[in-house]
Amino acid sequence: QDGPQRKKRKSEVGEVDKQLDILAIGTAVGSILLYSTVKGELQSKLDGGHDSRVNCVRWHQDNCCLYSCSDDRHIVEWNTQTCKVKCKWKGDNSSVTCLCISPDGKMLLSAGRTIKLWDLETKEVYRHFTGHATSVSSLMFTTVKPMNESKPFDGITGLYFLSGAIHDRLLSVWYIRSDRKEKNAVMSFTVTDEPTFVDLTVSEVKEEPVKLAVVCRDGQLHLFEHILNGYCKKPLTSNCTIQIATPGNDGDSTPKPVPILAAAFCTDKQSLLLVYGNTLQPIIEKVSLNTSESHICLVRDIQKVLSLKTDAALTKVKTPVVNSDTKVLVPGIPGHSTAVKTPASGKEKKKNKRKPGETEESIEERLGALDIDVSKVKTPGGLPQTDSFAVLLVQGLESNDAEILNKVLNTRKENIVKNTVARMPIHAVIPLLHELTKRLQGNPYSASVMVRWLKSVFTLHASYLSTLPDLIPQLGMLYQLMESRVKTLQKLSRLHGRLFILVTQVAASQTVQDVPEVNQTAKLVYEDDSSSEEGSDDEMIADKDSDENWDEDEEKEEQSDEQDMTVEKEINGDSDLEPENESEEE
C-alpha cells in the first residue's frame, strides 16, 4: 500500500473459471494492469480512463465489470473483456481514494474526505456522509441484512459500513437511513495508531456480532467484537490487543517487537491469519486466539525462520590502505594539505597526557607545526558573492527554507539579481517561479521586489520556458495575478489624476490665504496751506453739526426707552401696584 502501485484482489468467487485468476493492479501513471496469476503474465492493460495515480480498484460481482478511482477526481467503470471505459463520472472535488461495492451490487461507496453513496444505474448520489478530516483509506460493509427485519429490504437501507482514514485513530461506523437527515457516524472504534490494514467478519444475523481486526502503523493488532444496534456515543476500545516479540535469548536479553503487517479472519470466523516480520519475506501464520485476555504477546524467533540476512552484508566495510606519501586535503582552507601518519602496527596509542616537567604548547606553536600561514587565510566578510547566492537560492528552493529564501530574494541590487538568475541551474527555474508567485500574493512591498526577479527570469530563461509543454498550467496563477493587477491600473491612474488636481487646488488656495495684506495707509502726506485752512473751516462746521445731531439723538433714545418701559408694565400689571419700583427702574 505504501509503494507506487496499489494492489487489490477481488474477494467474491465468480462463476467463470477464466476470470478467477485475474489480479487488477492500479499504477501511478493512471493505467490498470490485468495480471493472470495462473499464466504468470500480463493479460491486458486498461488505458484512457485516468490522468493521474490510481488509488483503488474494485471488482464487481459481475466478473467483467471493474471500478477504479484516482487523484484526477473521477470514478471509472471498465469492461474488462473489451478493455474499454463503460462510464466515467466526477466523484469528488478532490482526489477519490477509496471504493466499496454494496452486497447486492447496485450501489457504490466512494470516499475522498467525504463519503458518497452512488446509484450505479443512474450514477447519481443517493446519500452523503460527513466522512473524515483526512483522506479515507478503507471502506467496507459490515452487514448484509438490516437489523430491523419488519420493513421490506430494498438492498441498501438499514445497512452499516465502516471507514478509516490516514492519520486518524478512529474507525467510524455509518448507518444508511431511509431519510437524508443523519449524516454523522453512529459509533466509532479507537486504536493506538493510524490503521494500515482492516478486516472484518460480516454480520448476517441480527444477534451476530461484528468481529473487527485492525492492524496499526505501530505494529499492533486490535480485535473488536460488537453487536451493531444503533447509536453509541463513546468510542469503543478493543477487546484484545496482540503483539509479537522475539524471545531475546541469543546474546541480547531484551526482547524486540516484531511488527504485524496484516491480519485476516479465516472462514470459521474464529482463527486469524497473521502476516508479520520483514516486508521482503513476510511470515504467514494461522493462529486461534483466546480473546478473553485483554493483551496477548506472541513470542516468535524470526531469525531462525528468515533465510535472508542483511546484517552480515552491512558490516563488511573495507578500510582504505593509506601510504606515507599520501596527502589529505583539510576541509575549509583551499590548497592546504597535510600528511597523514600511518598508524604503526603493534604500538600502543600515544596518550595526550603531558609529563610534569613539560610546558604546554601555545596556539601559535601549534599553528606553526601545522604549517599554516595565518596571514594568508582571509576571513569572509561583507555580502556573499553571486555564485554563493545562486547556491543558496537552489538550497532554499529544495529545502523550502524560508530564512534562506528571504535572505536571497530580498536583494534589491539589479546586477546581483541578474547574475544569480543567470548562474542558477535550469531545473530550479520553475520552482523559483512558483515561489515568486506565492510571494507576489503577499503585501505590495514584497511584490515590488519580486517583480525584479520575475523580469530577470523571463529575460534570461525565455528560451527554456518556451520549450516546456505544460507552461500555461504551470504559470496559470501568475497570469491571473498579473491580469488582476493590471485591470485596476487604469482606474488607479484616473483616481491619481483627480486626486492630484484636488491637492494642487487646495495647496494653491492655502498659498493665497497665507499672503499678508498690504498696508494701504500712506506713509507721507503733503498738504498746501490754502487747502488746509478751507479744510479746517469745513471741519469746524461739520463738528458743530455733528454735536447738535448727537444731542438730538440722545433725547430721542431716552423718550423711546420710557415708552417701552410703560408698555411692559401695562402688560405685566405693575404700573399702579408698585409706584416705588418705577422710580428705581427709571
Final residue in a domain of this structure, among 464, 488, 512: 488
Chain-centroid distance of CA 451 in Å reads 25
Per-residue pLDDT of 157-204, as tens digits, reads 888 999 999 999 999 999 988 777 778 889 999 999 999 999 999 887
Average pLDDT, the chain: 78
Pair 283, 152 in one domain: yes
Q: Which residue in the block uniquely carries the three cell numbers 468467487?
A: 13
Residue ranges for the chain with pLDDT beneath 70: 1-19, 63, 149-150, 249-253, 304-322, 324, 327-359, 371-387, 515-519, 530-586
Count CB-CB contacts under 10 A for residue 466. 8
∠ CA 53-58-64, rounded to 5°: 115
Report if residue 512 sits inside a domain: no
Q: Which of 259, 284, 299 is the last residue of a domain?
A: 299
Question: Does one domain contain both 421 and 272?
Answer: no
What is the predicted pLDDT for the residue at 256?
85
In sequence order, what are the beta bridge partners of 87?
77
> Does residue 20 sit within a domain?
no
242 within a domain of the structure (yes/no): yes
Q: For position 13, what pLDDT does the model report?
A: 38
Residue 449's pLDDT is: 84
**Pick from 378, 379, 400, 404: nearest CA to 391:** 404
H-run or E-run covering 64? none
How would you write 223-291 as a 3-class SS string? Answer: EEEECCCCCCCCCECCCEEEEEECCCCCCCCCCCEECEEEEEECCCCCEEEEEEECCCCEEEEEEECCC
Residue 191 · residue 214 · CB < 8 Å: yes
Predicted pLDDT of residue 59: 92
* Nearest in space to 242 (alpha carbons), one of 269, 274, 279: 274
Q: 444-460 vs 429-440: helix axis angle to the nearest 10?
A: 160
Tens-place pLDDT, residues 386-428: 568 888 888 888 888 888 888 888 888 888 999 999 988 888 8
| pLDDT score recorded for residue 136 | 93
Residue 117 lies in a domain: yes
φ/ψ (deg, to 5) at 438: -65, -40
Residue 134: the pLDDT is: 92
- Domain range for 454 is 389-488
What's the pLDDT score for residue 9?
Answer: 43
Same domain, 289 and 395: no
Q: For residue 379, what pLDDT is reported?
A: 42
Domain tally for the chain? Answer: 2
Of 470, 488, 506, which marks where a domain is finished? 488
CA atoms of 223 and 238, how far apart (whole Å): 6
Report the CATH number at residue 236: 2.130.10.10
